[in-house]
């Protein structure tokens, strides 16, 4: 796509994605299982899988059958684990696509065991979302004995916090694994935050997620390179007089005569509405305040003291010159999680890839 003809776009640095995976794998000291669910956190699962495959990951993690099917149809042959619980009526598709379900429900385990295909056992150690509870393994273990799992895993709910919860979950995980009446193959539990705070990993496989896509969750030496940028073009520059309101409800009013730039990007593209009157964007290497409420398709900036013309590129996420707006920066201003920020980048924005033979 011709960038000169594009009103707004998401720019994805595949080279940074690969460097982040390499950095994480080196710290973890074990094979990695990159999580590329939710279309690689909004940045493109097929492209992510393509550039990560040469690193020879243990496999890839997805959330749904449909996500696994997309990768298989794109030619991905690596192991794929489906981490969200599957219903037995989905098992035919999972087997046909050679997907490996992560199960915890006794009935689902019993149904899958008749297929003699690999699967992983999820032990719930405190997330209370999915998996067999660590305190009540009985029925699930009985079902699993028929065809033991290839791997056993758990999920940390607060690995980014220094509140002792990870240690508590790990102790529960150890107790549960020790109580299993069959040989245990692979163990995996560490996500991005766990490895950032404690490396190397004590498990057999590590599961990097948001770290791959440029978001660090802990203030440690292990930090990722930014991957995603969100950019839009100025489509109008208009003069306002003192007292003029900007955008819905006129929540911003000019304190003097000035100039307002309108950028062709809004909350329907994934730029949070809550950034209005609170966030900054980058124009010609300078921080410019977002003015008024962010609308569905357009966002306004106060460019009174800055040169600006229609066609100029505005960066809402990413780097321009020496200035950088990280996913974490923008998410904090909007009051959302970095995960929500990335996955909210909408499909109507074209993705433009750079680096790593893009």
- The residues, ordered by sequence, that sit 6+ positions from 173 with a Cβ below 8 Å of its Cβ are 123, 125, 134, 154, 189
Q: Do residues 50 and 17 make contact, with C-beta atoms less than 8 angstroms apart?
A: no
DSSP, res 78: S
Q: Which two tokens stand for residue 175?
A: 């107790």
pLDDT range class, residue 358, cuts 50, 70, 90:
low
What's the CATH class of domain 228-354?
Answer: mainly beta
List, for residues 87-131, the tens digit of each pLDDT value.
999 999 999 999 999 999 999 999 999 999 999 999 999 999 999
133-143 as b/e: b if 16+ CB within 10 A: ebeebeebbeb
Q: Where in the chain is the domain with CATH 2.40.37.10?
A: 228-354
List, for residues 60-78, the tens digit of each pLDDT value.
999 999 999 999 999 999 9
Q: Which two tokens stand for residue 49?
A: 């899988």
DSSP, res 15: H
234 vs 229: CA distance, rounded Å: 16
164 vs 263: CA distance, rounded Å: 45
Give me the percent of the chain exceeding a pLDDT of 90. 92
DSSP, res 13: E
Please name which of 229, 217, 225, 213 lies closest in space to residue 34, comparing C-alpha atoms: 213
Q: Where in the chain is the domain with CATH 3.20.20.10?
A: 59-204
pLDDT of amino acid 121: 97
Is 346 a residue whose pLDDT tops 90? no
Helix (H, G, I), strand (E, B) or coil at 156: coil
pLDDT of amino acid 280: 98
Q: Which of 133-142, 150-159, 258-267 has the lowest mean pLDDT?
A: 133-142
100 vs 166: CA distance, rounded Å: 26
Instruction: For residue 77, give Cα distances in angstroms to 59, 98, 171.
Output: 9, 9, 35
Residues annotated as catalytic are: 37, 248
Q: Do residues 87 and 67 make contact, with C-beta atoms less than 8 angstroms apart?
A: no
Q: What is the mean pLDDT of residues 159-172?
A: 94
Instruction: Count the residues in the chain.
Output: 358
Q: Do residues 265 and 318 make contact, with C-beta atoms less than 8 angstroms apart?
A: no
The CATH code for residues 59-204 is 3.20.20.10
Partners of 253 in the beta sheet? 245
**Radius of gyration of the chain, Cα coordinates, nearest whole angstrom:** 23
Please name which of 356, 319, 323, 326 lies closest in space to residue 341, comparing C-alpha atoms: 326
183 vs 304: CA distance, rounded Å: 69
List, for residues 17-53, the tens digit of each pLDDT value.
999 999 999 999 999 999 999 999 999 999 999 999 9
Q: Do residues 32 and 187 make contact, with C-beta atoms less than 8 angstroms apart?
A: no
Q: Which two tokens stand for residue 238?
A: 């208009």
């Amino acid at each position: 796509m011709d960038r000169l003809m594009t009103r707004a776009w998401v720019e994805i640095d595949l080279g940074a994605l690969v460097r982040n995976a390499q950095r994480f794998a080196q710290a973890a000291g074990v094979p990695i299982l990159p999580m590329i669910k939710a279309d690689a956190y909004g940045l493109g699962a097929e492209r992510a899988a393509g550039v990560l495959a040469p690193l020879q990951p243990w496999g890839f993690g997805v959330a749904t059958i449909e996500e696994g099917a997309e990768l298989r149809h794109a030619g991905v042959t690596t192991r794929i684990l489906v981490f969200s619980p599957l219903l037995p009526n989905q098992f035919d598709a999972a087997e046909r696509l050679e997907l490996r379900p992560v199960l915890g429900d006794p009935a689902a385990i019993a149904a899958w065991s008749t297929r003699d295909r690999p699967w992983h056992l999820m032990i719930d150690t405190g997330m209370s979302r999915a998996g067999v509870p660590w305190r009540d393994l009985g029925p699930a273990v009985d079902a699993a004995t028929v065809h033991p799992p290839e791997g056993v895993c758990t999920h940390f709910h607060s690995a980014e916090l220094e509140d002792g919860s990870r240690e508590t979950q790990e102790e529960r995980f150890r107790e549960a694994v020790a109580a299993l009446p069959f040989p245990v193959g692979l163990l995996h539990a560490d996500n991005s935050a766990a490895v950032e705070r404690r490396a190397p990993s004590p498990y057999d496989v590590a599961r990097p997620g948001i770290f791959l896509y440029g978001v660090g969750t802990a203030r440690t030496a292990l930090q990722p390179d930014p991957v995603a940028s969100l950019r839009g073009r100025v489509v109008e520059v208009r003069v306002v007089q003192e007292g003029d309101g900007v955008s819905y409800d006129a929540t911003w009013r000019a304190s003097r005569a000035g100039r307002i730039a309108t950028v062709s990007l809004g909350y329907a593209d994934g730029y949070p509405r809550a950034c209005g009157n609170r966030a900054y964007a980058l124009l010609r290497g300078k921080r410019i305040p977002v003015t008024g409420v962010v609308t569905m398709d357009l966002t306004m900036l106060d460019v009174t003291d800055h040169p600006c013309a229609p066609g100029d590129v505005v960066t809402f996420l990413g780097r321009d010159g020496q200035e950088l707006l990280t996913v974490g920066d923008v998410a904090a201003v909007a009051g959302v999680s970095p995960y929500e920020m990335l996955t909210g980048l909408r499909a109507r924005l074209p993705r433009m890839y750079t680096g790593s033979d893009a």
